[in-house]
Amino acid sequence: MDAHDLFCRLGAGAKFDLRRFSADAARFQVGKRKYDFDSSEVPQGLDFFGNKKSVPGECGGSKTHQEIQDVEKKEESLTEKKREQNKKRRKMMTSEINSEESSTIQWISSVEAKIEDKKVKRENKVTSGKLEHLRKEKINFLRNKHKIHVQGTDLPDPIATFQQLEQEYKISSQLLQNILDAGFQVPTPIQMQAIPVMLHGRELLASAPTGSGKTLAFSIPILIHLKQPTNKGFRALIISPTRELASQIHRELVKISEGTGFRIHMIHKAAVAAKKFGPKSSKKFDILVTTPNRLIYLLKQDPPGIDLTSVEWLVVDESDKLFEDGKTGFRDQLASIFLACTSHKVRRAMFSATFAYDVEQWCKLNLDNVITVSIGARNSAVETVEQELLFVGSETGKLLAMRELIKKGFTPPVLVFVQSIERAKELFHELIYEGINVDVIHADRTQQQRDNTVHSFRAGKIWVLICTALLARGIDFKGVNLVINYDFPTSSVEYIHRIGRTGRAGHKGKAVTFFTEDDKPLLRSVANVIQQAGCPVPEYIKGFQKLLSKQKKKMIKKPLKRESISTTPKYFLEKAKDKRKKLTAQNSQKKVALEDKS
């Protein structure tokens, strides 16, 4: 065994870097052997064990020191040339190195080499896990971009375009065309998430700012789910707190379902509806839009004037208003309606602009595996509305401020909100002489008068419309430029709904809210909403104390007692009162005298 073989055996398992230690490789003849030495032809430097003694006289046995240096120089020049070649042709050299490695000592075992090879393949291969991760990232980006907050299990993916409905949910081409023709090119944030949730047959609690397209968010999935008209009776029921809002929903549904054959009805008169939708009817109808009062009247008849056993979708619009306690609340009526919908297929969806705690708790307890969807910050105002708080001192100051706004000039249409029906009438009588087209809408007016007023306001014949909380919810008036809160709202929720009549569907609007010394307790909660929307709030208001929840409920049930709206001084008003009293007293005396004579 010569020195070279011995060196190879001792270095087994070590990888010698030929490129880095080329001079040493040449010296110890590692790699391809350049010379065929016998075992006796060992260079002096490799006599490890001191067995061989150098014989000075020997000329063939070993080479001189000078000869070894010459060999080293030659080897160095050869390696320099190789380095230059390596720089020019790196790719070619990798294959050369690999071929060289077969004749040199390798550090990596064959098993390890296989493992390395598998790792490389695994990295290059796009796995299903990676695809799923990318999909989730895309969905999260879409939700974060549009401020979509979702809670629940097995959440359906949001849609980015209406065309996706055709690919994923097989929407009819006619319905898709109607949506696009109506001017809805891209879904709004609430539509992006609510439509897939309802199409997956999941129960829903949805909250989105006013004017964000909630009506379409439940109308589209209902029409896709029902597929085509059938003679089974009502298969979808939509409930709203006011007839005006119900009428608006009905109009939108008819518009987007044009050409599909769906029969969409609305209850105008309960007596007529009983004959039309009663047990003996042909059941040739699909969707019903109504208010709770009219529906309850029909359900209480014996036999019931309407059949809801085939209802598959029950939608409650402005759900927080319908769940309120007190005169305007419809909680008990809703319970009766829910019980009347006995189909095992029935699914329920609640929509509103504000998130009421009561509604959320009820949904969690009563709805099956409910999904909660909210857009933006909870109970926040629309960012497209410029909001302003205006201190007017007293009730008389309000009327002066109102007249000042009219004098400065304004762009109609304008909505003015007041606290009660009496105050709506009083303000109407004060403004009617200001030379502007003004009208009033409240619950004391007949249905025909209310419809005519709404129609005239939409047509632009009325510039200023005075109204109570009746119109604060849901009604979509195109292009309302200004909302005036003549009387301060009783809660931040009511404030959000009131100012939501302007700045709808991305358009800009303005809201002015009058406040007096008496409104101090309610100021802080409304100021917080204004501040969240990025509008300025006076510093001193931020320091006001917050109301306790008990106090808030009390204020909602019993609003502040306010002075009557009038520019006539109190002295003359009291004088007129006394005069009326005297006249009534005289009249009663005359009646008594006439009775005595007879």
- Give the type of residue at 246: A
In a domain, 269, yes or no: yes
State whether residue 151 is helix, strand or coil. strand
Distances (CA, A) of 360 to 207, 214, 332, 364, 498: 11, 18, 17, 6, 22
Domain boundary (329, 355, 375) is at 375
In a domain, 550, yes or no: yes
- DSSP annotation string for 479-509: T--EEEESS--SSHHHHHHHHTTSSGGG--E
Mean pLDDT, all residues of the chain: 81
In a domain, 143, yes or no: no
Residue closest to 30 by CA, chosen among 14, 13, 8, 51: 8
Confidence of residue 553 (pLDDT cuts 50, 70, 90): confident
Query: Per the structure block, which two tokens stand in for 486?
Result: 């003549």
Q: Do 276 and 401 fall within a single domain?
A: no
Span 51-93, pLDDT tens digits: 554 444 444 444 455 666 676 777 777 777 777 777 776 655 5
Q: What is the pLDDT of residue 270?
A: 76
CA dihedral 427→428→429→432, nearest 10 degrees, is 120
Q: What is the pLDDT of residue 189?
A: 94
Confidence of residue 103 (pLDDT cuts 50, 70, 90): very low
Q: Mean pLDDT lowest for which of 10-14, 253-257, 490-494?
A: 10-14
Span 194-215, pLDDT tens digits: 999 999 999 999 998 878 889 9
Q: Do 368 and 401 fall within a single domain?
A: no
Q: Do 209 and 353 fall within a single domain?
A: yes
Domain boundary (344, 375, 406) is at 375
In a domain, 565, yes or no: no
| 245: Cα separation from own chain's centroid | 22
Q: What is the pLDDT of residue 329?
A: 58
Q: What is the pLDDT of residue 47?
A: 52
Contacts of 244 (CB under 8 A, 6+ apart): 450, 454, 470, 471, 474, 475
In a domain, 241, yes or no: yes
Query: Per the structure block, which two tokens stand in for 506?
Result: 């991305």
- Give the type of residue at 446: T
Helix (H) or strand (E) holding 18: none
Q: Do 196 and 70 fall within a single domain?
A: no
Whether residue 247 has pLDDT greater than 70: yes
Strand partners, 416: 466, 484
Give the residue-averaged pLDDT of 356-365. 82
State whether residue 157 is helix, strand or coil. coil
Q: Do 358 and 478 fall within a single domain?
A: no
Helix axes 520-532, 549-557, angle to 10 degrees: 110
Q: Do 87 and 185 fall within a single domain?
A: no
Distances (CA, A) of 332 to 291, 335, 447, 553: 14, 5, 24, 19
In a domain, 139, yes or no: no
Q: Do 300 and 336 fall within a single domain?
A: yes
Domain boundary (314, 347, 375) is at 375
Give the residue-averaged pLDDT of 153-165. 93
What's the total number of domains in the chain? 4
Strand partners, 415: 465, 483
Task: Judge if the upstream peptide bond of residue 187 is cis by omega within 30 degrees of 0.
Answer: no
Q: What is the pLDDT of residue 39?
A: 44
Give the residue-averaged pLDDT of 235-264. 92
Q: Do 552 and 578 fall within a single domain?
A: no
CATH number at residue 521: 3.40.50.300
CB 492 within 8 A of CB 530: no
Edge-to-edge strand list for the sheet holding 385-393: 385-393, 509-516, 482-485, 414-417, 464-467, 438-441
Whether residue 591 has pLDDT greater than 60: yes
Q: What is the pLDDT of residue 58?
A: 43
Q: Do 400 and 334 fall within a single domain?
A: no
Q: Do 549 and 584 fall within a single domain?
A: no
- Give the type of residue at 554: K
CB 28 within 8 A of CB 37: no
CA dihedral 222→224→228→233, nearest 10 degrees, is -10
Q: From the CA atom positions of the chain, what is the Rg in Å?
A: 43
Q: Do 443 and 322 fall within a single domain?
A: no
CA distance 592 to 587: 9
Q: What is the pLDDT of residue 122?
A: 63
In a domain, 266, yes or no: yes
Span 439-487, pLDDT tens digits: 998 888 888 888 898 889 888 899 999 998 766 676 777 778 899 999 9
Contacts of 590 (CB under 8 A, 6+ apart): none
Give the residue-averaged pLDDT of 380-402. 86
In a domain, 569, yes or no: no
Give the residue-averaged pLDDT of 174-193. 93
Query: Per the structure block, which two tokens stand in for 389?
Result: 């708080």
Q: Do 414 and 345 fall within a single domain?
A: no
Q: What is the pLDDT of residue 592?
A: 83
What are the φ and ψ backbone dihedral angles of 334, each rounded to 5 degrees? -60, -40
- Please give the residue range of the domain that contains residue 115: 3-54+62-122
Q: What is the pLDDT of residue 158?
A: 94
